[in-house]
Structure 1
Amino acid sequence: MMQFPTSVEDHPLVRRAVRHLDGLGDPRYGQLLVRCLDDTLARTIRAMPDGSAFVVTGDIPAMWLRDSSTQLMPYLALLRDDKGLQDLVVAVLERQFDQIRRAPYANAFNPEPSGRAHDSEDLCEDPWVWEEKYEVDSLAFPLLLAHRFWRASGRTDHLDGAVRTARAVLTVWRTEQDHEHLSSYRFSRSSGPASDTLPDAGRGTPVARTGMTWSGFRPSDDACTYGYNVPANLCAAAALDGTAEMAHRTGDTALAEEATALAAELREGVARHGTVDHPDHGTIYAYEVNGLGNALLMDDANMPSLLSLPLVANVSTADPLYRATRAFVLSPANPTWYRGTAAEGVGSPHTPEEHIWPIAIAVEGLTADDDAARLAALRALADTDAGTGAMHESFHKDDPHRFTRHWFSWANAMYAELALDVAGLGTRPLWSRPSP
């Protein structure tokens, strides 16, 4: 069975980053960086007999397509000359590709066909599937990771698998452009909160065709209020941009053209239906719409979020529409933004009110235009870890010791991305750079 790295403490780029962070006058920054990077490698990665790698989210024993992608993103800054890290990413991608082709509407999977599930009443009977909440971003993030890994490493041995998987993804996204008439997807759950199930016998609230692709659930795993999640559609368009480049590289011109065409349709749908005029902030992106005149104005800490569009959707931080939306998101006009005595930032309806997410603080720093703002975000994360040396899912705005999820690897990865970025060694060059 393949052996993967379990620590990067002695990696020359990590040592360089720690020296830079130590020079900022607070030893916690570098210590947290090493701890977060090593925790993911040592505790969440499981080598599988087939040569792939299974990645748990932390304190839940399942592999989320989105989370396992974001958990690996910081290592893209470190792997150009590190074959061990490269092999790890390829192994995770192989697992993700197999999962998507097996069950493209699922969001989380078991390591074996054990039949374990978040809820035994879920409609899906595939024993490999932990949960089948359909989320657009679950299909987008592995394609983003595959494309960025190619750009970061120059390796191409994963591209055939990425292209085969992309065909399945495009089929789903095309189907869900007309969810009302073409889709057979349903999800209902009798137990748990209302956000765990879709109304109308699992179909979801009504939508009209817009050119966007429908999603049952948000990146938080909460049900969408309206079926077109705007940041997820823009993230999908970016994933399709990368898919087109990968398809050209493998000689699949037809797929490249189809991916390019669908990306244009998604962006046009957002442009026509996904923006609103706000009385204080001007024209901004909505979070969700239904094409019937309804729009939800908010943001969610989970990526893809409106705040994270430069990271995940090829949207420039200088784009006027993004800047207006960002101003809305980071203001009291956004119902999920909180300011307290400990910190300020974006939360989520998925967690208690007045709880801020470290992921959102990291995203705010990564998408800032100046070094001072990035450093302020890094300091806020170090100040709100409740003395645990790790990031949490969320914490109370006035008391970081009141937090949810003691072990949440995605949040650790976002701290690492921000810390590497502050040190001048982050993944920022991969966001929208041409492929090798």
Structure 2
Amino acid sequence: MQQFPTGVEDNPVVQRAVRHLDGLGDPRFGRTLVRCLDDTLARTIRPMPDGTAFVVTGDIPAMWLRDSTTQMMPYLALMRDDTALQDLVTAVLTRQFRQIRHNPYANAFNAEPSGRAHDPDDLCDDPWVWEEKYEVDSLAFPLLLAHRFWRATGRTDHLAEAARTARTVISVWRTEQDHERLSAYRFVRANGPRSDTLPNGGRGTPVARTGMTWSGFRPSDDACAYGYNVPANLCAAAALDGTAELARHLHDAELAEDAARLAAELREAAVRHGTVRHPDFGPVYAYEVDGLGNALLMDDANMPSLLSLPLVANVSLTDPRYLATRRFVLSPANPTWYRGSAAEGVGSPHTPEGHIWPIALAVQGLTSNDAAERLGVLRTLTDTDAGTGAMHESFHKDDPHRFTRPWFSWADAMYAELALDVAGLGTRFLWETST
């Protein structure tokens, strides 16, 4: 069984980053960076007999397609000359691709066909599936990672399987462009809050065709209020941009054309149908729409979010619509933005009211061109870890010792991305493709 790295202390990029961060006068910055990177490698990675890697998200024994992607992202800055880290990402990608092809509507999987599930009474009885909440980003994020890994390392041994998986993804996204007529997907959960199930017999709220692709659930795993999640569609378009570039490298003209065509459709539809005029901010992106005239103005801390569009959707930091949206998101006009005595930032309906997410704080820093703002966010993250040295899912705006999920590896990864960026060694925006 293949063994993977369990620490990064000897990595020269990490050593340079720690020296830079220590020079900023707060030893917590570099110490937390190393702890976050080491914890993911040592505690969340499980080598599998087939040579792949199973990645838990933290304190839940399942592998989320989205989370396992974001958990790997900061290591892309460290691996140009580190073949062991490269082998790890290849093993994660291989497992993700197989999971997608096995069930493209599932968001989280078991390591073995154990039948374990978030709720055993769900409609899905596939023993490999932990949960079958269909989320557009679950398919987009592994494709983003495949493209970014190739760009970071030049490795090509994952590309054939990436292309094969992309065909499955494109087929699903095409079907879900006409969800009402073509989709057989249903999700009904009898136990739990309303956000854990879809209305209308498991089909979700009604939608009209717009050119966007439908999603049952948000990146938070909460049900969509309206079926077209705008940031997820823009993220899907970016994933297809990268897929088209990979396909051209493979001389697969058909896949390149299919990916580029669908990317253009999703992007054009998201801009056309997902833009609303806010009385204070002007034209901004809505979070969700249904094509029937309804729009939800908010953002969610989970990526892809509206705030994260430059990181995951090839949207320029200088795009006027994005800048207006960013001002909205980081203001009291956004119902999920909170300001307290400990911090201010974006939260989520997925967690209690008044709770701010470290993921969203890191995204705020990574989408800022202001070095002082990025450093300020890094300081806020270390100030609000409740003395644990770890990032949590969320913390109360007035009391960071009131937090959810003591072990949440995705949040650790986002701290690492921001810390590397503050040190001038990050990888943000290096993956943009021509559209």
What displacement does 1:125 show? 1.3
Matched with 2:42 is 42
Once residues 111 and 263 of structure 1 are traced to their aligned partners in structure 2, the CA distance between those partners, rounded to angstroms, is: 32
Q: Distance in 1 between matches of 2:431 and 2:419?
A: 17
Given that 2:71 and 2:413 are in contact with CA atoms closer than 8 Å, whether structure 1 keeps it comes out as yes
Percentage identity across paired residues of the two chains? 81
Query: Structure 1 residue 250: deviation in Å?
Result: 1.3
Report if aligned partners of 1:76, 1:427 keep a CA contact under 8 Å in 2. Answer: yes
How far the C-alpha of 1:369 sits from its partner, in A, is: 1.2
Aligned mates of 1:235, 1:392 — CA distance in 2: 25
2:338 equivalent in structure 1: 338
Contact kept, 8 Å, 2:338 with 2:344, in 1: the verdict is: yes
Letter matched to residue 413 of structure 2: A
Distance apart, 1:429 and its partner CA: 4.5
Does the Cα contact within 8 Å between 2:340 and 2:397 map onto a contact in 1?
yes
Please tell me whether residue 214 in structure 1 is matched to residue 214 in structure 2: yes
SS in 2 for 1:14: helix
Aligned residue pairs total 434
In the TM superposition, what is the alpha-carbon distance from 1:284 to its structure 2 partner? 0.1
Residue type of the alignment partner of 2:81: D
Q: Which residue of 1 aligns with 2:103?
A: 103
Deviations 1:319-355 (A, max 9, x none): 0000000000000000000000000000000000000
Matched, 1:116 2:116: yes
Corresponding residue SS for 2:43: helix
Aligned equivalent of 1:229:
229
Tell me which residue corresponds to 2:242. 242
Look up the equivalent residue of 1:310 and give its one-letter code: P
Tell me the SS of whatever aligns to 2:369: coil
Q: 2:373 maps to what in 1?
A: 373
1:31 corresponding residue in structure 2: 31
Shift, 1:433, TM fit: 5.7
**Distance in 1 between the 2:372 and 2:250 partners?**
42
How big is the alpha-carbon RMSD for the aligned residues of Structure 1 and Structure 2? 0.7
Q: Which amino acid aligns with 2:16?
A: R
Structure 1 CA distance for aligned equivalents of residues 370 and 77 of structure 2: 20
Q: Is 1:424 matched with 2:417?
A: no
> What one-letter code is carried by the residue in structure 2 that aligns with 1:317?
L
- Mapped partners of 2:431, 2:365: distance in 1: 15
8 Å Cα contact 1:237-1:267 kept in structure 2: yes
Match for 2:184: what amino acid?
S
The SS at the match of 2:218 is coil
SS of equivalent to 1:425: coil
1:233 counterpart letter in structure 2: N
1:32-87 per-position Cα deviation (integer Å, ceiling 9, x unaligned) = 00000000000000000000000000000000000000000000000000000000
Deviation at 1:430, TM superposition (A): 2.4
Distance 1:172 1:433 in 2: 23
Report the counterpart of residue 299 of structure 1 in structure 2. 299
> Is the 8 Å Cα contact of residues 238 and 263 (structure 2) preserved in structure 1?
yes
Separation of aligned partners in 1, 2:235 and 2:241: 10
CA distance in 2, matches of 1:427, 1:122: 39
Question: Hey, what does 1:129 align to over in structure 2?
Answer: 129
Q: Deviations over 1:151-172 (max 9, x none)?
A: 0000000000000000000000
1:316 — aligned with what? 316
Match of 2:177 in 1: 177
Q: Which amino acid aligns with 2:305?
A: S
Contact kept in structure 1, 2:314 and 2:433, CA below 8 Å: no
Q: Distance in 1 between matches of 2:3 and 2:178?
A: 44
Deviation at 1:98, TM superposition (A): 0.2
Alignment of 1:248-397 (within 5 A): 248-397=248-397
Equivalent position amino acid for 1:398 in 2: D
Instruction: Note if contact 2:241-2:433 (Cα within 8 Å) is conserved in structure 1.
Output: no
Contact map agreement 1:310 1:431 (CA 8 A) in 2: no
| Structure 1 residue 149 corresponds to structure 2 residue 145 | no
Contact preservation (8 Å) 1:312, 1:431: no
In structure 2, what is the Cα distance between the partners aligned to 1:386 and 1:317?
Answer: 32
The 3-state SS of whatever aligns with 2:157 is coil
Q: Which amino acid is the alignment partner of residue 285 of structure 2?
A: Y
Amino acid at match of 1:111: A
Change (3 A) 1:179 1:429: closer
- Distance in 2 of aligned mates of 1:109 and 1:284: 35
Gap regions ≥5 residues in structure 1? none
C-alpha contact 1:311 1:431 (8 A) present in aligned 2? no
Q: Secondary structure at the match of 1:142?
A: helix
CA contact (8 A) 2:242 2:433 kept: no
Structure 1 stretches of at least 4 aligned residues deviating more than 6 Å after TM superposition = none
Tell whether the 8 Å contact from 1:28 to 1:382 is kept in structure 2 after alignment: yes
In structure 2, the residue corresponding to 1:430 is in which secondary structure? coil
Which blocks of at least 5 consecutive residues in structure 2 are unaligned?
none
- SS of aligned partner of 1:277: strand
Partner of 2:87: 87
Cα distance in structure 1, aligned partners of 2:257 and 2:107? 27
| Partner Cα distance (2:80, 2:302) in 1 | 28
* Amino acid across the alignment from 2:143: L
Q: Is residue 208 of structure 2 the alignment partner of residue 205 of structure 1?
A: no
Task: For 1:201, give the aligned amino acid.
Answer: G
Give me the whole-angstrom Cα distance separating, in 2, the residues matched to 1:433 and 1:374.
25
Aligned residue number for residue 75 of structure 1: 75
- SS of equivalent to 1:428: coil
* Aligned mates of 1:433, 1:339 — CA distance in 2: 36
Partner Cα separation in structure 2 for residue 232 and residue 121 of structure 1: 28
Would the alpha carbon gap of residues 167 and 429 (structure 1) be closer, same or farther in structure 2, given more than 3 Å must change? same
After superposition, the C-alpha distances for 1:227-258 in whole angstroms (9 at most, x for unaligned) are 00000000000000000011111121101101
Q: Which whole-Å CA distance do the structure 1 matches of 2:343 and 2:9 have between them?
A: 29
Cα distance in 2 for residues equivalent to 1:159 and 1:171: 18
